[in-house]
Structure 1
């Protein structure tokens, strides 16, 4: 029975569109905090973790971007945790990767890097759970890919974790040369300069306003608490 659910879940992930769409973060924030909404976050997360095959791409969008409005959202702290996972995988300490990823995943279930590194470790140990973790990774990655095409600031991919930029770049097969961070129209963008590629793209844009705005809000909060 469980294997059948996994297959259905994977088939659902496979048909998701990756065409660009504008992300209305205000609408998402209201929806995930509303107990009467189908996107109420606790229920949405429960369905996601139970491999609910009736979830649709709007659900996954709210799941990924809605996490930015949860109390456990600390984007800058995730950078160090992601690095530790990568280092452990590089050292082939796969059991340690799984343990650390599980401890992170309880409070931060939508970080793409965490899911990828756990999936890699599980696959290295030939554990069946890898199929489930990889499917979760794939659907959240597609939610990010659906946010734009990355060709301009106006159509930038929108992420809630900085590490997710690398997951998108890797999934698209781009070789990167350098990164620049710019501010345009009161929004923050990471601009990745690309190596030669078949698409003949010179740059790829990521909208990182959400994590940067969190930094500003946290700074204001810290200043208020210190007075």
Structure 2
């Protein structure tokens, strides 16, 4: 498990400097919803997802944003589901060392998680660890590119320092992923303020007290569940 976390640290550290100077703009969900329905356009959703599955490195930032935020309008979007096989993956990851057969199981379970949520950064990270150990270089590069696509979309949405510049996420797990990317540690306190999650962060050199995340798609999905 320690080696898995080390891979996460290395990969996210590569992006942390990039994150600090990233230009950001909050997503316009209404415009995105319209754009991804236009067949033949650059933002038509099924075409974007096909490019994502190919790990297309030529995608523009706007295409990445329409891909990520547009997923909240897809029938499969269910931000509060917990697949049964997630426990199976966690059980394998508890070990400090893994045999080839165990590494292949990690790849298999991660694939199942990603079939349910293609932007699950933790599943991608665990699979990257296994693929590196198995020396599956092409598959490793593909997953790494997909991770980058997702992270770039997230980082383009804000800086998280106040509600007006909150990060926009479609999964609450991405809040904690972004803290890691930016070099912060969760301070143990979470608050829901209107449609924003506020996470307090541990003491840090930047003297940032906490970060804001717009979780509107998550709340909308939750409301639909209880209608």
| TM-score, normalising length: structure 1 | 0.80
15-24 or 211-220, larger mean C-alpha shift: 15-24
Q: Structure 1 174/84 Cα, relative in aligned 2: closer, same or farther at 3 Å? A: farther
Q: CA deviation at 1:78?
A: 4.2
Match of 1:159 in 2: 169
Structure showing greater relative contact order (alpha-carbon pairs closer than 8 Å, 6 or more residues apart)? 2
Find the residue that maps to 1:77 and give its secondary structure.
coil
Match of 2:38 in 1: 34
Match of 2:153 in 1: 143
**Does residue 129 of structure 2 align to residue 120 of structure 1?**
yes
Conserved 8 A contact 1:95-1:121: yes
Q: Structure 1 84/165 Cα, relative in aligned 2: closer, same or farther at 3 Å? A: farther
Return the match for 1:63 from 47, 61, 67.
67
Q: Cα deviations across residues 59-94 of structure 1 (Å, max 9, x unaligned)? A: 100111111111111110148765654443233443
Q: Cα deviations across residues 166-196 of structure 1 (Å, max 9, x unaligned)? A: 2111111112221322233xx2x22111112
Conserved 8 A contact 2:124-2:143: yes
Find the residue that maps to 2:49 and give its secondary structure.
helix
Return the match for 1:196 from 203, 206, 225.
203
CA distance in 2, matches of 1:63, 1:82: 24
CA distance in 2, matches of 1:201, 1:79: 34
Q: CA deviation at 1:45?
A: 1.3
CA distance in 1, matches of 2:39, 2:30: 16
**Does residue 212 of structure 2 align to residue 212 of structure 1?**
no
| TM-score, normalising length: structure 2 | 0.80
Return the match for 1:104 from 91, 105, 113.
113
Return the match for 1:46 from 47, 50, 59.
50
Conserved 8 A contact 1:18-1:143: no
Q: How many residues align?
A: 204
Once superposed, what is the RMSD of the aligned Cα atoms? 2.4
Find the residue that maps to 1:182 and give its secondary structure.
strand
Match of 1:175 in 2: 185
Q: Which runs of 5+ in 1 are unaligned?
A: 1-13, 221-227
CA distance in 1, matches of 2:159, 2:113: 29
Q: Structure 1 213/73 Cα, relative in aligned 2: closer, same or farther at 3 Å? A: same
